């Protein structure tokens, strides 16, 4: 998948190419079987009905996977909080399990990845159609493979017969070409189906699987389940092992992914899909957790490398939105006092920055054993914008806009308003004040 979403040729020709591939394997093969001298002759009526029924399901599910909206969040004017963080690109709260897709240009609920072959995100709303498409595509390929195998077996049985009594050269070339394309397509879609079924059963998207691999890599390098990190601001952050919280049992996982506990509708081509609630809670906004972590809301686990990079800018230039919000209703004398306090804090931060430039020990993020957290991380990641898994994939390869991904809060269980614009915080304060009066 890495790099496919960024190739302009694939972006423009992906869907027509898939349609052309389906048409070739579906209808050229049937033309070959009915209008050539290949034994055992044309498929039976039963085989033709089954094959073409699978093709109809395949076409429809692919159409739905391409055209169904991947979901969007509509925030009302009175929204105060949404569980999750703040999206810098949408300028709105980003609910849990949502990511900003750089291709769709918005936050996608339960984003799995942006599929280059459907030019659409595989998300909470499109996952059922995408899975059904893969199922019917593989079933159609298996049926086609069976029909092709029958022709090859007949050729093997007649291998001692004179060549002029066998099929024509054109029929043999068509059979070989169709078989090769069928084999490689079956291999690719089979791998895709297995990975999608794994995501479905464990309720873990591709992006979350990537985050889980990154988390385990940091823990493996540290050799322990937790340690304390001291940042440049002097605050202590505890990095600890986090269990994946959304695996709530295989049946519940599958029912959640398909939007219904009715097993009969899971693979019914005309079945629908889950939708995002419009009341800022419920489906697409909140997610049930399995309770394995000490508190809820600890996913995704914080990234020490991202915290290290986020701490590097000039400390005095970082705005303290919380302090500005608290000072909004102060009197003149109180504002002067608060201003002087901020000046003193800036002076202390400048000294800290000078200590860093002079490479004074104790500034870098350290664990409780005195080891630099950088040494616990993949050294190759220092030259790149993001950690890569064993397949060389980064978040952007799944379609995620990395610029919109915020650094994780120091306390995963606490709300993070650092990136929320001051105007939004003031609006929330006014709404809360009005609610208190009413």
3-state secondary structure of 87: strand
Query: Measuring CA to CA, how many Å separate 148 from each of 41, 131, 176, 251, 257?
Result: 11, 26, 9, 37, 35
Query: Which residues are marked as active site?
Result: 115
Report DSSP letters for 364-401, one per residue: S-B-TTS-BGGGGS-GGGGGSSS---TT---GGGGTB-
Contacts 24+ apart (CB under 8 A), 169-176: 170/36, 171/32, 171/36, 171/37, 171/38, 174/28, 174/32, 174/36, 175/32, 175/36, 175/38, 175/148, 175/151
Report DSSP letters for 222-243, one per residue: HTSSEEEEE-TTS-EEEEE---
Q: How far is residue 367's CA from residue 237's CA, in Å, rounded to a whole number?
A: 10
Report DSSP letters for 143-204, one per residue: HHHHHHHHHHHHHHHTTTS-GGGS--HHHHHHHHHHHHHHHHHHHHHHHHHHHHHHHHHHT-
Q: Where in 255-361 does DSSP place strands (E)?
A: none
Block residue for tokens 């303290």: 320
- Those residues whose C-beta lies under 8 Å from the C-beta of residue 360, and which sit 6 or more positions away, are none
DSSP 28: I
Structure tokens at 411: 């306390």
3-state secondary structure of 100: strand
Q: Are 228 and 236 in contact (CB under 8 A)?
A: yes
């Amino acid at each position: 998948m890495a790099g496919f979403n960024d190739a302009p040729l694939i972006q423009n020709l992906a869907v027509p190419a898939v349609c052309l591939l389906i048409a070739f394997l579906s209808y050229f093969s049937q033309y070959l079987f009915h209008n050539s001298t290949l034994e055992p002759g044309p498929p039976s009526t039963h085989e033709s009905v089954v094959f073409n029924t699978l093709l109809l399901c395949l076409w429809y599910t692919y159409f739905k996977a391409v055209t169904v909206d991947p979901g969007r969040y509509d925030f009302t004017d009175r929204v105060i909080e949404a569980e999750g963080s703040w999206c810098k690109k949408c300028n709105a709260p980003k609910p849990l399990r949502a990511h900003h897709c750089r291709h769709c240009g918005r936050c996608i609920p339960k984003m799995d990845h942006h599929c280059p072959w459907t030019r659409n995100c595989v998300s909470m709303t499109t996952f059922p159609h995408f899975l059904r498409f893969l199922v019917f595509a593989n079933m159609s390929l298996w049926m086609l493979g069976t029909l092709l195998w029958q022709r090859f077996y007949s050729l093997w049985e007649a291998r001692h017969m004179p060549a002029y009594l066998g099929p024509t050269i054109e029929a043999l070339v068509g059979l070989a070409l169709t078989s090769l394309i069928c084999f490689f397509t079956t291999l690719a879609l089979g791998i895709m189906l297995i990975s999608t079924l794994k995501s479905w059963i464990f309720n873990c998207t591709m992006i979350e699987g990537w985050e889980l691999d990154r988390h385990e890599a940091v823990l493996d390098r540290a050799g322990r389940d937790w340690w304390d990190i001291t940042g440049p601001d002097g605050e202590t952050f505890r990095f600890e092992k986090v269990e994946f919280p959304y695996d709530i049992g295989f049946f519940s996982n599958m029912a959640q992914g398909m939007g219904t506990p009715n097993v009969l509708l899971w693979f019914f081509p005309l079945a629908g899909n889950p939708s995002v609630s419009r009341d800022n809670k419920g489906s697409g906004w909140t997610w049930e957790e399995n309770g394995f972590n000490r508190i809820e809301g600890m996913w995704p686990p914080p990234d020490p490398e991202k915290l290290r990079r986020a701490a590097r800018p000039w400390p005095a230039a970082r705005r303290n939105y919380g302090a500005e919000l608290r000072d909004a209703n102060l009197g003149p004398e109180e504002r002067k006092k608060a201003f002087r306090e901020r000046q003193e804090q800036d002076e202390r931060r400048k000294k800290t920055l000078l200590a860093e430039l002079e490479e004074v020990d104790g500034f870098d993020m350290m664990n409780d054993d005195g080891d630099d957290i950088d040494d616990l991380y993949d050294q190759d990641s220092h030259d790149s914008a993001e950690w890569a898994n064993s397949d060389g994939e980064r978040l952007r390869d799944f379609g995620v806009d990395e610029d919109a991904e915020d650094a994780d809060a120091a306390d995963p269980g606490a709300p993070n308003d650092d990136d929320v614009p001051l105007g939004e915080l003031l609006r929330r304060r006014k709404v809360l004040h009005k609610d208190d009066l009413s």
